[in-house]
Every structure is written in structure tokens, then in C-alpha cells.
Amino acid sequence: MSPASTAEHVDLELTGMSCAACAARIENTLNKLDGVDATVNFATEKASVAFNPAVVSTDDLRAAVESIGYGAELPTVARDHDEDERRRRALLRRLVVAITLGVPVLLMSMVPAAQFRNWQWVCLVLAAPEISFEDEIRSSSGELAQLQATLANREAMPDAAFNDAVEAAVTQNHLRSRPLTLDQLPQLNLDKSLQFYKDRFADASDFTFIFVGNIDQNTFRPLVERYLASLPATNRRETARDVGQNIKPVTVLKALARRLHPIVPAYLLLYTPSARLNPAADGVPDIEWFRYKRIWPDPEIGWLFAKPQDWAYHLLCLRQQYSISGNTRRLGAA
């Protein structure tokens, strides 16, 4: 809605956007408020908002953005000088380290005269990340904001809600298979995650390493043995534990069909890949045959076959055969 002539202007600093669709969603949300005319710039992560202060306040603008999973802050007049200086020094340190380690890697990779025996191992060490995992996990507020926006977008997608319902049914709503939700996000404990990380990599005695490539085993084996011997190891014994995550797809398909509607059938569909490649997807094989059969109600014993070009016709016949009049109940509403 267009603002009145007495409109004020504010630039909101946005967080959590990951694509242009996020910017469009924020812009649409703000423009739905009375007396607001907003434009969101994804590149600068700012929203230029003209609003009528008699109708809506800056707190209302922030609340509208935060209600869809993003962050919004009013621009500060004076930034904390110490914080800016700390960030500047951290970025400068990373830049110096990146140049110092990156230039030798570039030279050894591009100039044959700079290469020597086992130079690849030196490049591997020099190319290791400069920032530690602990530093990364403690400065992940931006990543959490982005994850919050992603979850907000996902929960608004009907196909995601359907897939979550199917996953919950297939795994019997097991805790290990439940998707992360916005309600669970504040419960994440980064310090505990860091402890899990340290504990996991404090003992490499049960790790399995797989090396792939054109390798001379006589030359490669002693180098690998030396590397593995340098890893921390406590030789602790770990045993697998059954957490009760039983998957019963056929039973679940029948249950889903019953919950959708009493007369909606459940079909099992398989396909046979072709030796030909799919012209619409590079590297993906084409489909030779579809085969399907009803598993509920009145399970069919034999399979019905259909060529890809005829599959749309078969699907249309099935939909007409089991057409449902009236409103169909949503999955999970039973």
C-alpha cells in the first residue's frame, strides 16, 4: 500500500537471505503492511522502506520481517570501534595467511619446474583451512540466521510438508529422522556440538580411510602409514546400538493411502533404466519401462507395464478410475 505524504524513510539491515527469492519474500511481506512501500536489495542486504508512522512503526517492520524467519535491524548511528577493529584485524590476518600459503600452492600446481618428489603432500598441508573449527562454530550467528530463513521457506512449501509426513510415517516418527524445525532451532547448543566434534576426532583408531587414484602402492603405503601413525588414537571400543528405527515402506504406503481418503489406492511403481542417455539430463540414463501394481486395497499379484511415452495416459486412467469428489482431507489431518 502506498504511504501517505507524511511518510518517513528507513533502511533496514537484513540478515538470513540466501537468494533473490528471499529478498522478494521480504519485500512482499513488508508491502502488505498498511502505509508501507518497500524495496529490498539482495546485494546490499538492505530494505529501503517508506512508511506512515501514524499507521506502522519501525518495530512493526522488524516484526514483519522476523515473522517469516529473517532478521532486520535499524542502522546504528555509531558502530563499536573496538568491534570493527577486531574484525578488521581478523580479516587482515586471514588474508596474509591465505596469500602466504596460497602462492606456493599455485606455483607448485602450475609450474613444473617448481615441483619435486611428493610435492602434492606439501600442497595438501598448505591448502588446509586456516580457520579452526572452534573459531568457525563460535562465529556462526550468520549461518544460524540463514538456516532460520531456509527453514521458514521450507515450512511454507506443500511438497516439503508432504515429504516430512511420509518420512515420519516410514520411520515411525523416530527421533533420529525428524526434520529440523523453527521451533527446535533455539534449542541448538553450539558448545555441545563443539564437544561432540572434539570427542569424535580425538580418537582415529576406528576410522576407515579410502584412497582413490592412480597410486603406486610401494611408494604410497609408507607415506600413508606414517600419516596414520601421527593421528590421535585412544583405542576405545565402540559398539553399535539398535535405536529402534524400523522402516516398513509397504505398510506405510497402505497407511498413507487410508489417511488420505478411504478410496485412494496405493501403487508401487518401479522403472527399468535404459542403455540410452536421457537427452534432457546429461549423464542420466533414460527409462526403458515403467511397471506398477496396486498394493492397497485388493493387492494385485502381477505387474502392469507401460512405456515412458504411454505413462501419462496410464496415469490419467488411474486418476479417472479413482477420482474423488468433494474436498480431500490433507495428509496428517485424520
Confidence band of 120 (pLDDT split at 50, 70, 90): confident
C-alpha cell of residue 190 = 553450539
Of the options 3.40.50.720, 3.30.70.100, 3.60.140.10, 3.40.605.10, the CATH number for the domain spanning 8-73: 3.30.70.100
Query: Buried b vs exposed e over 223-239: b needs ≥16 C-beta within 10 Å?
Result: eeeeeeeeeeeeeeeee
d(CA 178, CA 165): 10
Q: Of 130-144, 151-165, 204-218, which one has max mean pLDDT?
A: 204-218
pLDDT-above-70 percentage for the chain: 78
* Radius of gyration of the chain measured on its C-alpha atoms: 29
pLDDT band with cut points at 50, 70 and 90 for residue 327? very low
For the segment 54-73, the average pLDDT, to the nearest whole number, is 86
Quote the pLDDT of residue 84.
Answer: 67
Q: Are 1 and 33 in contact (CB under 8 A)?
A: yes
Model confidence band, residue 306 (pLDDT cutoffs 50, 70, 90)? confident
Q: For residues 330 and 111, which has the higher predicted lDDT (pLDDT)? A: 111
Give the contacts of 154 (CB within 8 A, at least 6 positions apart): 160
Amino acid 130: pLDDT = 53
Q: What is the mean pLDDT of residues 300-324?
A: 78
pLDDT in tens, 270-290: 888 887 877 766 667 788 888
Residue of 296 and 229 predicted with greater confidence: 229
* 195 vs 207: CA distance, rounded Å: 18
- The tens digit of pLDDT for each residue in 180-233 reads 887 887 787 878 888 888 888 888 888 888 888 888 888 889 988 888 888 888
- 306 close to 289: Cβ distance less than 8 angstroms: yes
Average pLDDT over residues 67-83: 70
* Kind plus residue range of the DSSP H or E element containing 263: none
- The pLDDT confidence band at residue 142, using thresholds 50, 70 and 90, is low
Residue 234 pLDDT grade (very low, low, confident, very high; cuts 50, 70, 90): confident
Sheet of 8-15, strand order? 36-41, 46-51, 8-15, 71-73
Mean pLDDT along residues 148-165: 74
Calpha distance 187→13 (Å, rounded)? 25
For the segment 89-114, the average pLDDT, to the nearest whole number, is 86
| pLDDT above 70 for 331 | no
Nearest to 259 by CA among 166, 161, 321, 332: 332
Whether residue 135 is predicted with pLDDT greater than 70 in this model: the reply is: no
pLDDT averaged over every residue in the chain: 77
What local confidence, expressed as pLDDT, does residue 181 receive?
80
At 141, the pLDDT band (50, 70, 90 cuts) reads low
Domains of the chain by residue range? 8-73, 78-130, 140-247, 261-321
Residue 16 near residue 145 (C-beta atoms within 8 A): yes
Helix or strand holding residue 258 (H, E): helix 249-260
Full 3-state SS string of 12-79: EEEECCCCHHHHHHHHHHHHCCCCEEEEEECCCCEEEEEECCCCCCHHHHHHHHHHCCCEEECCCCCC
Least confident stretch, 4-8, 33-37, 234-238: 4-8
Q: CA angle, corner 132, sides to 128 and 136, nearest 5?
A: 120
Contact 65, 100 (CB under 8 A): no
Q: Which three cell numbers stand for residue 332?
A: 496428517
- Top-confidence residue, 256 or 48: 48
Is-contact 273 288, C-beta < 8 A? yes
